[in-house]
Chains A and B, each alone.
Chain A
Amino acid sequence: MPEDNWSLILQIFWIIFFIMIFTGANQRIQMKLWSIDIRNKLNMIRRYVEEDKERVSNFMRNLGLRNPELVLKKTLDFFTIEPVTIEPTDIIKRMDHLIRTSDKSFREIVKKALPSLGRYERSLIETGLSIVSAIYMVYKVVRHYLLTGEKENNWILLMQLELLMPQILKIVTAYHKALDAFTTGKPVGDGIGPLIAYRLIEEGEVVSKRVIDETSIYEVKLANRRFFIIKAEGPGSNVGHPGRVLADLVDQLNGNVDLIITIDAALKLEGEDTGEIAEGVGAAIGDPGPEKIAIERAASKYNIPLRALIVKMGLPEAIQTMRKEIYEAGEIAVEYVKKLVDRLTSENSTIIVAGIGNTMGVPL
Chain B
Amino acid sequence: MIPLTGQDMIYYLAIIAAIGLAVYFLLETSRRPKEPETETKELLKCIKCGYTIEKEYSVGDFIGLVKDKCPKCGSPLKIIAIYDVVKKTPEKTLKPPKQYT
- A residues neighboring B (CB under 8 Å): 1-3, 6, 184-187, 195, 198, 235, 320-324, 326-327, 361-364
- Shortest beta-carbon distance, A167 to chain B, in Å? 13
Asked if residues B8 and A324 are in contact (CB atoms below 8 Å), the reply is: no
Asked if residues B83 and A184 are in contact (CB atoms below 8 Å), the reply is: no
Asked if residues B82 and A323 are in contact (CB atoms below 8 Å), the reply is: no
Complex contacts, B57 vs chain A, CB 8 Å: 186
Asked if residues B40 and A363 are in contact (CB atoms below 8 Å), the reply is: no
A-side interface mostly? loop
Complex contacts, B63 vs chain A, CB 8 Å: 187, 195, 198, 235, 361-363
Q: Which 9 A-B residue pairings sit nearest by Cβ, starting from the closest?
A: A321-B84, A363-B64, A324-B83, A327-B83, A322-B83, A327-B81, A324-B85, A323-B84, A235-B62
Asked if residues B84 and A1 are in contact (CB atoms below 8 Å), the reply is: no
Instruction: Kindly report which residue of chain A lies nearest to residue B54, judged by CB atoms.
Output: A324
- Shortest beta-carbon distance, B99 to chain A, in Å? 41
Q: List 9 A-B contacts (CB under 8 A).
A: A184-B59, A321-B38, A321-B82, A321-B83, A322-B83, A324-B41, A324-B83, A327-B43, A362-B63
Q: How far is the CA of A363 from the CA of B61 in the complex (A)?
A: 12
Q: How far is the CA of A235 from the CA of B43 in the complex (A)?
A: 17
Complex contacts, A320 vs chain B, CB 8 Å: 84
Complex contacts, A321 vs chain B, CB 8 Å: 38, 40, 82-84
Asked if residues B7 and A6 are in contact (CB atoms below 8 Å), the reply is: yes
B24 on the interface (CB 8 Å rule)? no
- Shortest beta-carbon distance, B29 to chain A, in Å? 10
List 19 other contacts, CB 8 Å, given A198-B64, A321-B84, A327-B81: A1-B8, A1-B11, A3-B5, A3-B7, A6-B7, A184-B59, A195-B63, A195-B81, A321-B83, A322-B81, A322-B84, A323-B83, A323-B84, A324-B83, A361-B63, A361-B82, A363-B63, A363-B64, A364-B64
